[in-house]
Amino acid sequence: MSNEVEETNILPPDVYAALNLDEFVAVDIETTGLQYTNSEVIEVAAAKFRNGELAETFERLIKPATAIPEYITKLTGIADSDVADAPAFRDVLPDFREFLGTAPIIAHHVPFDLPFLEYHARLVDRNLKGWQNRKPVYHYFPNPKYDTAVLARMYLHYLPSFSLSNLVDYFQFSGDVSHRALPDAKNAGLVFRELVNFAIQTKFADVQKILQILEAADDPISDFFQHLAKFLSTGTTVVGGIDRRQFDFKANHYNIIGERSKLKGPADLLEEQDWDYEPPEWEQAAGLLDESDIADFFAESGELSQKFGTYETRDQQVAMATAIARAFNSQQFLTVEAGTGTGKSLAYLVPAIQWALKNNAENGRVVISTNTKNLQEQLFFKDLPVLSGILKDEFKAVLLKGRGNYLCLDKWTTVMRDPDARLTEDERTKVLPLLFWMAETETGDIAENNAFRVERNGGLWSKFIAESQYCPGQKCKYFKDCYLMKARENARNAHLVLVNHSLLFADLVAEHSVISPYRNLIFDEAHNLEKTATEYLGVAVNIWLFKDLTSKLYVKEKFESGALAQLVRNLRKSELDASQVDTLTKQIDKLIENVLELWATAQDFFRELGRQLRQITPENQTQYASRHRYKSHHIFEPVLPIYDQLARQINRLQAGLANMVENFRDFKENSFDNQDQIYRELKTQTVTAAALLESIDLLLSANDETRVYWYELPQREDSLDIRLYAAPLNIGELLHEQLFGKLRTAIFTSATIAVNQRFDYFLERTGINRNEPDRVKALMLDSPFRYREQVLLGIASFLPPPTDKRHFPELKKLIRELSQRLRRGSLVLFTSYSTLNEVYRDVQNDMKLAQMPLLAQGLDGGRHAIISRFKREKPAFLFGTDSFWEGVDIPGDALELVAITKLPFDVPTDPVFQAKSEMIEARGGNSFYELSIPEAVIRFRQGFGRLIRSRQDFGAVLILDNRVSTKSYGRMFLNSLPVTAKSFANADEMWLQLERWFG
């Protein structure tokens, strides 16, 4: 954004004064680590703004008592030599505090910067008395403190990231974005100024609600909203404020494609049909597809070419589309392996749409399931809109998700009406990103809201989701606007329904009550079918399930919260007579006592469970949780006494809740506030308690031979996050009985399904081959890419085998030399975190000297962040494991080399893998050839596929495990790739070939 544009966003001085922002100071620090108790400040900076304009700056380097860690130097550029002559923190502190004065302090992530500064200021005076680690008391920095991250998450919830650099990009600020204190301080001040422009457009009632929520949170941001409320109450008209949300909240925030008037809400549908409506049986024959018409769509003169002049006909795409049309016509179970670049999405979408248009609801509707969010969004927000603009006949498509994704309007209103009763102190600030999203969303799908991470706030989100036990259906006053019901009913009447694998399998358990019965299924990313089915059809128990149950009922903090606390409060204001209220209050007090006892016992149980399991479990040498199989209930005998106590308390709580639910039946309607909502919440938690006890009984008894059982231990010994799991073993049989046997047509597709050019492994493991033989078909299509011209596939045969102790040092040496000699964007794939971490530690200094950026999974940020940095900092090296073998899409010269350090065999001790191996051996099979190799080959192919993502990509894949050329099974790996491998007898030959290849 130019200076001229920036100036137009500066508010009048009297507005800043009214907000107590006529002067504010943005601060930032650089440190030697993340924990202020064992790290030091190495740079501090501040940018002072007056009436919205940058006026003064402060910047100081600080000499720490210890050396600056290498990764900090890498991140900030600050080295020991830079601070050798710098003053100590104690010498900088007085000038810094004087610069701040009493003005509000602005920071991006106040909970990091300000506790750091306060703690080290106290160290200077040796004044740690009263220091609170969780909620610092600020003696040295008592100024008001406003967090740009909190405000950005509230007002800009649709952004993909809330990092300072991303906010700078969003507002189009020019200037330095390096990870140094002064540029970050300036940018934080500019971002804050823009966020104030959003804030002054807030409705007064919304600000009052924010203050009500924050009342018990003790969050410094409440001071900002108090000033804002005072200003808005005057009714002053502001010139210069902006509200960009009206045009920024638009993309990817819908779940229906097609004419909306024909896609009805639940209230409309009720007028036409019974709630238990089932599609009628149609007597006429199915409308068959003309395969030539499908082929013509993709032809050089077809609709795609007419719409897009750059479209190129691909024989593989035509073959796949016509085969799928044939599958619909003939009721087939078709498996298609389509190489990268085939265009498989359009190849199955076009015949699926045409089939659905030609046939009635029962036979025509097609469900499409994907494994990843990226593919689901590509289909719904990219491919289907394109087809909607090309095809002559209008089709309807709906993106459908599970209950846990949708906000319940009744629950939301109940909590917002009385946040003190339903939100814990910790949840007050965390709920803020939902407020403005709620006013804008049309779908209620939390995936729209990037500012609210469900995986980090599961307990809070569970207070708002549309749970089946809680839902009163048509009796709900919000039924007409219910997000879940609208999505389900529109899906029921759509031609295409897009779901993910987890919802598909959850629907199986729920007997198709979620998606409603369907006859046609397309399963994309099908190589994950067995794995995801195993995961989602299993059972799990952990401490968080107990916390979720108990916290919804009662929590005692600064304020009491939970359904029981709200019930007590509302009964005291009710129309019930005093004696009845007194009797009920005593029952509730007993229930509250049960809740607190249950939570305490649950913590004791998982603490003791962890202690006992660690005694029989090998020490975990990694920084990650470890998984261990168990076959018998005997390992739990030491914890049975405390489990018996836990079970009694669950039963006691369940009985007490059930009794209280019965009491509600005697109350007149509207005897007290939120009567119906509290009744349904207590009823829901009664069912939840019973289900939790059933699950933990199943896991501790471990007596079902059709399941595999395991436990997961966290790396930290003091953690209570011990998890118990059980999963079905024979997925193929289960899928055949519950899913495939009810389908008319099914399509399974992926770029990597076959093993050694055959589909037997996939068909057997998934149960597809249990269908009638004449209905089971398979098609293998190569990629349209010119792999021989685009990829050099090489084997470092000169390296010792992985079992040789010389292998690891030679591997590290080779990776080091790759960074120095080739200097190409490189993805190095590992099979374990421990190996990745050790290689990273060993080569990072050499790569720094070679000025080659090095990024590593788990060490340099999350997956999305480091992939973005890898693309931006090219050429760079990226070390990845696990999830980086698939789903990473980096086209262009950012990635020109993929190095596979080891054949990706499953860990032999993995519980599920171990159990499957034993099943194979028990029936006389060979688990190595029937399980280990097929799984490794599929993963190997996925790793190879990371390199070439377009016709323009070019590069090399190096296999650093010589077993592919020395072991007989190695041919199965090599035969699975679309290009012939070259074996390098020595390093010189490899370097020569690589240098020739890259020119």
Per-residue pLDDT reduced to its tens digit, 881-893: 988 999 888 989 9
pLDDT value of position 245:
47
Strand partners, 984: 796
CA distance 394 to 761: 39
Query: Which H helix or E strand runs over 46?
Result: strand 41-50
Q: Tally the C-alpha atoms within 13 A of residue 857's C-alpha that lie toward its C-beta.
A: 21
Matching CATH number, 787-998, of 3.30.40.230, 3.90.700.10, 3.30.465.10, 3.40.50.300 = 3.40.50.300
| Count of CB atoms situated within 10 Å of the CB of 742 | 13
List the Cα angle 8/13/17 in 5-degree steps.
135
CA torsion sign for 727, 732, 738, 743 is positive
**DSSP code per residue over 606-661:** HHHHHHHHHHTS----SSS-EEEEE--GGGGGGGHHHHHHHHHHHHHHHHHHHHHH
CB atoms within 10 A of CB 451: 21
pLDDT of 259: 56
What kind of architecture, by CATH, is found in domain 3-247? 2-Layer Sandwich (3.30)
d(CA 150, CA 156): 10
Distances (CA, A) of 132 to 128, 139, 633: 9, 12, 43
Q: Give the phi and the psi of residue 746 in degrees, each rounded to 5.
A: -140, 135
d(CA 667, CA 683): 15
Taking residue 752's Cβ as centre, other Cβ atoms within 10 Å add up to 23
Count of residues for the chain? 999
pLDDT under 70 in the chain at which residues?
1-8, 130-135, 175-178, 238-252, 259-286, 309, 621-623
* Cis ω before 433 (30° cut-off from 0): no
Q: Which two tokens stand for residue 648?
A: 């009694």
On whether the CB atoms of residues 123 and 36 are closer than 8 A, the answer is no
pTM above 0.85, yes or no: yes
Buried b (16+ CB within 10 A) or exposed e, 85-98: ebeebeebbeebee
Q: Which pLDDT value is given to residue 708? A: 96
Q: Burial letters for 134-149: b for 16+ Cβ neighbours within 10 Å, e otherwise? A: eebebebbebbbbbbb
Half-sphere exposure at residue 717, Cβ-oriented, CA atoms within 13 angstroms? 10
Interatomic CA distance for residues 217 and 420, integer angstroms: 10
Residue-level pLDDT at 439: 87
Of the candidates 678, 157, 660, the residue with the CA atom closest to the CA atom of residue 415: 678
Rounded Cα–Cα distance for residues 843 and 840 (Å): 6
Q: Residue 816 has which token pair? A: 């080091």
Homologous superfamily (CATH) for 315-404+502-532+734-781: P-loop containing nucleotide triphosphate hydrolases (3.40.50.300)
pLDDT of the residue at 133 = 54
Q: What is the DSSP letter of 70?
A: H
Domain 3-247 matches domain 315-404+502-532+734-781 at the CATH topology level: no
Residue 562 region by backbone torsions, left for phi larger than 0, else alpha for psi between -120 and 50, else beta = left
pLDDT at res. 507 = 87
d(Cα 694, Cα 316) in Å, to the nearest integer? 50
Distance CA 938, CA 299 (A): 32
Distance CA 999, CA 994 (A): 8
In 824-962, where does DSSP find H-type helix? 833-849, 863-872, 911-922, 927, 933-944
- From the number of C-beta atoms within 10 Å of its C-beta (0-12, 13-18, 19+), residue 725 rates as buried
Between CA 739 and CA 750, with CA 745 as vertex, the angle to 5 degrees is 85
CA distances from 456 to 147, 453, 459, 544, 857 (A): 19, 5, 9, 12, 20
Q: Are strands 53-61 and 105-107 parallel, antiparallel or unpaired?
A: unpaired
Supply the DSSP string of 968-985, one letter for each residue: TTHHHHHTTSSS--EEES
- The whole-number pLDDT of residue 177 equals 64
AA identity, residue 741? G
Q: Note the helical H segments in 156-203.
A: 164-170, 181-199
Give residue limits of the domains in the chain. 3-247, 315-404+502-532+734-781, 405-479+542-614+630-703+719-727, 787-998
Return phi, psi of residue 989, to 5°. Answer: -65, -40
Cβ atoms of 367 and 514 within 8 Å: the answer is no
Is 317 strand, coil or helix?
helix
CA–CA separation, 716 vs 734, rounded Å? 37
Strand partners, 25: 48, 105
Distance between CA atoms of residues 726 and 630, nearest Å: 10
Q: Which residue has the tokens 């000025």?
A: 851
Neighbouring CB atoms inside 10 A of 80's CB total 13
**Greatest pairwise CA separation for the chain in angstroms:** 93
Q: Which tokens go with 436?
A: 């403005």
